[in-house]
Amino acid sequence: MARGARLLLLLAFLAALLAVLLQLYRLRKPKLWTLDELSSSVFDVTKGRSHYGPGGGYHHFAGRDASRAFVSGNFTGDGLTDFLQGLSSMEVNSIVDWRKMYFEKYIYAGKLVGRYYDKQGNPTKYLKGVEVKAKRGAQLLEKQKNEEAKIPSCNSKWSEQEGGEVSTLCTMAFLLKRILSVAPICLVWCDTGYPRLVRRPGDIALTGKVNQRCACFQEEELNKPGVVVYEGCDYLSTSCKVN
């Protein structure tokens, strides 16, 4: 066999061997897929393997559309569903925000045929209804923010009991408590004024119930109706711990 022919044969063999090795590597490290919580969009979350792989905090979402669990915190049985009926407009809007994060962080891979997309990939009436509700939630949330801007909100951060302080909102800390089973301690404080709990009447339209938020009040405002001191916090303390 001519020398040139032997060289070509060797190169072909090496190329075939490389292809086999690459395939074995892929089999050992399979891709992970998650079905986006709102519109059954599929994302490649392989780079988030530590979160979406077995034992990860978000492994519940890999390979299925478990949208409701993003806001309900129910990661078992019927809680892992794409059925969003009964959620408030604010909760649905929160799911939309998660969806935006997926588009920004992961590779979009396609659509899932089912509740939100038909076989041609067109949105169903259910998806259109969810989008309308989410838009309404965003409008109500913006209105609430404008109202609350008149009385500044407290600063907040949380840390796990073992340490590892993270600068973020306490509401996210308690969501992580449900997802990752951590035990956060939240600290709220005011740069000027004193932290107090006040009702959020706008939540009636958003969630169907009245919640509370932390706001900063000046000393002369502390006797206003509905202004509540945090349990275990001194009356004139500028910071409070919330378990």
Instruction: Write down the domain spans for the chain.
Output: 33-148, 155-242
Distance (Å, whole) CA 12 – CA 66: 46
Cα distances (angstroms) measured from residue 164 to each of 13, 58, 160, 184: 52, 20, 6, 10
Which strand (E) or helix (H) includes residue 16?
A: helix 3-28
Q: Which pLDDT score, from 0 to 100, does residue 16 have?
A: 53
Class level of CATH domain 33-148: alpha beta
CB 40 within 8 A of CB 112: yes
Instruction: For helices 89-105 and 125-148, give the axis angle rounded to 10 degrees.
Output: 100
Per residue in 25-36, pLDDT (tens digit) is 444 444 554 544
Those residues of the chain that have pLDDT short of 50 are: 17, 20-30, 33, 35-38, 162-169, 172-175, 178-180
Per residue in 153-179, pLDDT (tens digit) is 898 876 655 433 333 445 544 445 544
Q: What is the pTM of this model?
A: 0.56
Distance (Å, whole) CA 106 – CA 22: 23
Q: Which pLDDT score, from 0 to 100, does residue 165 have?
A: 38
Distance (Å, whole) CA 80 – CA 84: 11
CB-based contacts of 168: which residues, under 8 Å, 6+ apart?
Answer: 156, 157, 158
CB 64 within 8 A of CB 73: no
Q: Which pLDDT score, from 0 to 100, does residue 220 have?
A: 93
Token duo for residue 41: 């969009």
